[in-house]
Amino acid sequence: MKLIIARDYEEMSKKAAQIIAEEIKKKPNLVLGLATGGTPVGTYRELVKMYKNGEVDFSRVITFNLDEYLGLSPDDERSYHYYMYSNFFNHVNVKPENIHIPNGVAEDIDEECRRYDEAIEKAGGIDLQLLGIGVNGHIGFNEPGDELLTATHVTNLAPDTIKANARFFESIDEVPKKAITVGLGTIMKAKKIILLASGREKAKIMAELLDEDAVSTKVPASFLLLHRDVTIIMDEEAAEVYR
């Protein structure tokens, strides 16, 4: 595991964008796993900047997002579809047919989950997976519990997650209670993983993750300790307790 402690959010975002761009240079048809939420917004901003400066080309890149709220349609401003297009896809040259985000309003959700895994498999699996981390240690929306599922599935969002994500909604009651998420198996099969953590609210979970040196379904991100190519980039605030 490689640990980078960046000075601040900007530096964390730049480092993440640089690694992603380097991987695309090495493999122009990179299969890129993407996250949403507050943490990677700066990374997308940097990647858009690099694209506009001619430093990176997404024309052959294939993307798969980690998750989507159940019941939010792609044109709902609070959906992860909307987030991805407004923060990233509308500003770079990823081909529309190469963009994959779980459909939170699919008629047959089980079929949607199956289809999503099949598409990832067909693309050859994820080459580089970008992750954030929940305050409770979730990755994707794989929430702490007695067991973790390997494949794409519908998950009940944990109360901590609903609380943390209420900032993107008018009120906490509007936060969907369920989401579609890729499973831990798909994440762990990624050839390379970048985990980002920013801000004081992530300090406790990052210390738990890095100090305990143990794997538990109660901290889904702890499974990353078993992966052979993980880079954790956190800013000084997120590293506060760990240090």
Catalytic center residues: 67, 136, 138, 143
Q: Among 66, 126, 210, 233, which residue sits at the site for ligand F6R (rule: CB under 6 A)?
A: 66
Pick between residue 55 and residue 76 the one whose CB is nearest to ligand F6R.
76
Looking at residues 105 to 134 of the shown chain, list those that interact with ligand F6R (rule: CB under 6 A).
132-134
* DSSP secondary structure of 211-226: HH---BTTBGGGGGGG
Q: Which x/- pattern, by CB under 6 A, does the window 162-191 give for ligand F6R?
A: ------------------------------
Smallest distance from ligand F6R to CB 207, Å:
16
Smallest distance from ligand F6R to CB 47, Å:
16
Give 121: exposed, middle or buried? Use CB within 10 Å, 0-12, 13-18, 19+.
Answer: exposed
Looking at residues 130 to 159 of the shown chain, list those that interact with ligand F6R (rule: CB under 6 A).
132-134, 138-141
Pick between residue 104 and residue 132 the one whose CB is nearest to ligand F6R.
132
Distance CA 216, CA 32 (A): 26
φ, ψ at 219 (rounded to 5°): -130, 85
Asked if 104 touches ligand F6R (CB under 6 A), the answer is no
Pick between residue 35 and residue 56 the one whose CB is nearest to ligand F6R.
35
Q: How far is CA 20 from CA 85, 130, 153, 171, in A?
A: 18, 9, 27, 34
Q: Which x/- pattern, by CB under 6 A, does the window 193-222 give for ligand F6R?
A: ------------------------------
Number of residues that bind ligand F6R (CB under 6 A): 14
Pick between residue 57 and residue 231 the one whose CB is nearest to ligand F6R.
231
51-78 CB burial, b ≥16 within 10 A, e <16:
beeeebebeebbbbbbbbbbebeeeeeb
Owner of token pair 């040259």: 93
Smallest distance from ligand F6R to CB 24, Å:
20
Q: Among 16, 17, 31, 35, which residue sits at the site for ligand F6R (rule: CB under 6 A)?
A: 35
Report the first-to-last Cα separation within the chain, whole angstroms. 17
Dihedral sign for Cα atoms in the order 40, 162, 126, 202: positive
- The residues near 220 (Cβ < 8 Å, ≥ 6 apart) are 137, 138, 139, 142, 143, 144, 148, 184
Smallest distance from ligand F6R to CB 83, Å:
9
Q: Where do contacts with ligand F6R occur on this chain (CB under 6 A)?
A: 35-39, 66-67, 132-134, 138-141
